Amino acid sequence: MANTMTVEVVSPERLLYSGEATMVITRTLEGGEIAFQAGHMPFLGALADSHTRIITADGSVIDLAVHGGFVEVGGNTVSILSDAAELSGEIDVARAQTARDRAQEHLRSEHDAEAVAALSRAHARLAAAGLPPR
């Protein structure tokens, strides 16, 4: 199909997705949320912790929590090379909520980079699992 592109999402542990898609939406460190469609100009960016969405060729949506890494676009291919990533159905929601609550509590008394990173990861997981932020 002319309006599709090849998409791959890879973490150090495994290949999470490989297939045709019409759009990929993710978040970069430099520019915030960005969407890629077939024919997008070449692009390379560092990824933030985010809820990433892949709209497949059949119109279904694959939700992932992506934790860092890079996105590269070129030759009608989008490659996400993540430091860590999880498909929405694999996310332990209770654990993510506990991590979010713990990080928020820690940040009430002391602001440190580790707690901010933990909160960011928890928000990405919960968003990918379909839960609203709080």
pLDDT of residue 123 exceeding 90: no
DSSP assignment letter at 90: G
Sign of the alpha-carbon torsion through 100, 103, 106, 110: negative
Residues 6+ away with beta carbon under 8 Å from 71: 24, 26, 28, 34, 36, 43, 44, 45, 47, 78, 79, 80, 81
**pLDDT in the model for residue 83:** 93
| pLDDT band, very low/low/confident/very high, at 134 (cuts 50, 70, 90) | low
Give all domains of the chain, ordered by start, each with its CATH number.
Answer: 5-88 (2.60.15.10), 91-128 (1.20.5)
**pLDDT in the model for residue 112:** 82
